[in-house]
Homo-oligomer: A and B are copies of this chain.
Amino acid sequence: MSYWDEALYLPPVLRTLTSLEIDMSVLAAGTVALDSVETPFGKAENILGGSATYITLAARFFSPDIRLIGVIGYDFPEEFVDRLKDAKIDLTGLEVNTSSRTFAWEGKYEYDLNQRDTIATHLNALETFRPQIPEQHRQCNIVCLGNLDPIVQCSVLDQMIDPDFVLCDTMNYWISQAPEKLRETIGRIDCLVVNDSECRQLADEPNLIRAARIIQQMGPKILVIKKGEHGALLFADENVFSVPAYPLENIQDPTGAGDAFMGGLAGFLSSQKEISLDTLKQAVVIGSAVASFTVESFGPDRLFEIDGQAISKRVDAFRELTTIPTPETVRL
């Protein structure tokens, strides 16, 4: 009998959120970018992008108090600022660097959409970005650290006053280039959200389940592994939960799906009374649902179109997709 036969039956409540004066708030620090993306289905230049953008746009469906921490340059279109403001994202923490251009990313996806090639990364305003969290933002329920230099991620945490729950993303570049600082960051968070190859790389272990256990030993008791078209895995203490990707025949642009996933997850958690195994499972499904919309258009367009009802309907479809029927007669 394997370890798991035991492990899957642990008590469901992991942790209860401390009540804060500021309720249901999410702060997301990350990139705000001008993306140029090419997929087999089209091409778009200098569109709204960045991890903080996708996280906040996804989180806003669940909370009225979504705060963005990031930087833009002098070339960032006013129109994009207006779109974010119209979406009720609090931009008090969006710094404008008037002497630099905005962080820009150019990428291309091959026909199977599983492989992303970065054509160019222009750090621009991001290069000197040292976020100053506005005083009124320092108390916050949920903190999302989007993919950024772990030094910057740590500096955000240094400025926050006792957040209830901290989620963090990273990428292969920081795992290989800044392993010590990244380990410091990971040691301070509650939940790491990475893709499967990053998980294997960070743990230096090819078996994904063992890799997850190794990362949990590094600090975060909760780990979410994003597997693109194969869905996501949640590791919470000793428990495991699996959610598939929503079966989509038409994927326009995968950019931002992982960030929208984390945003939906974080936003949903901020709307709950406690962070338990059950709310975490629901949050991972919600994140998957929001991510599944994101890829249906170029950039974050779909995130501006959908509403809570659309997300709710898709969550029902996830239930349909995964529910194992109870057998009437199993002869074993």
Residues of A within 8 A of B (CB): 1-5, 8-9, 61-62, 111-113, 200, 206-210, 213, 227, 229-231, 233, 240-244, 246-251, 268, 271-273, 278-279, 281-282, 285, 296, 308-315, 317-325, 327, 329-332
Contacts and interface: CB of A to CB of B under 8 A. Distances in A.
A27 to B, nearest CB: 19
B321 A209 contact: no
Contacts of A1: 310
Assembly stoichiometry (copies): 2
Contacts of A233: 244, 247
A296 B210 CA distance: 15
Given A208-B229, A278-B325, A281-B325, A249 B213 contact: yes
A142 to B, nearest CB: 15
A222 B199 CA distance: 34
Contacts of A206: 111-113
A322 B324 contact: yes
Contacts of A268: 330
Task: Report the 3 A-B pairs with minimum CB-CB distance, sorted nearest first.
Answer: A308-B332, A242-B244, A112-B206
A320 B229 CA distance: 22
Contacts of A62: 331-332
